[in-house]
Amino acid sequence: MKEGSSIINTTSVNAYKGNAKLLDYTATKGAIVSFTRGLALQLVERGIRVNGVAPGPVWTPLIPASFSEEECANFGKQVPMKRAAQPIEVAPSYVFLASCPESSYITGQVIHPNGMLGLYIATLLKLKLICYP
């Protein structure tokens, strides 16, 4: 890759909050976060930026194909915005990291288009309204 290039990895909100039902998925998404940071350190001297995007729940073909009807009906309701995202709502994160001059100083970072899910969970934990093992 040439200087000025940008690599964008996809991780997940699950990498940060955990998910007992999706342990293998969650573990690999957590590994992608570490990989993103390590690769950013390796490539910074070559002028290549490496970042990630960690979406919250997003409606994709995978959801109805792998979830029950009841799970689909409740998909995204745990998010403070009370809904899952559409792919078009997450896509600008990738465009920003890939092509905007304003992102040229960003590397080794992860953007979180998650409907405030991560902050919401952290706040509930801090207030001891939920517990995390």
Is 25 an annotated catalytic residue? yes
Q: How far is CA 70 from CA 11, 42, 60, in A?
A: 26, 45, 16
Tell me the C-alpha distance between 50 and 88, whole Å: 22
Catalytic position from the list 25, 94, 105, 120: 25
Burial class (CB in 10 A: 0-12, 13-18, 19+), 72: middle
CA angle in degrees (0–180, nearest 5) for 126-129-133: 75
Maximum separation of any 2 CA atoms in the chain, in Å? 49
Active-site residues: which are they?
25
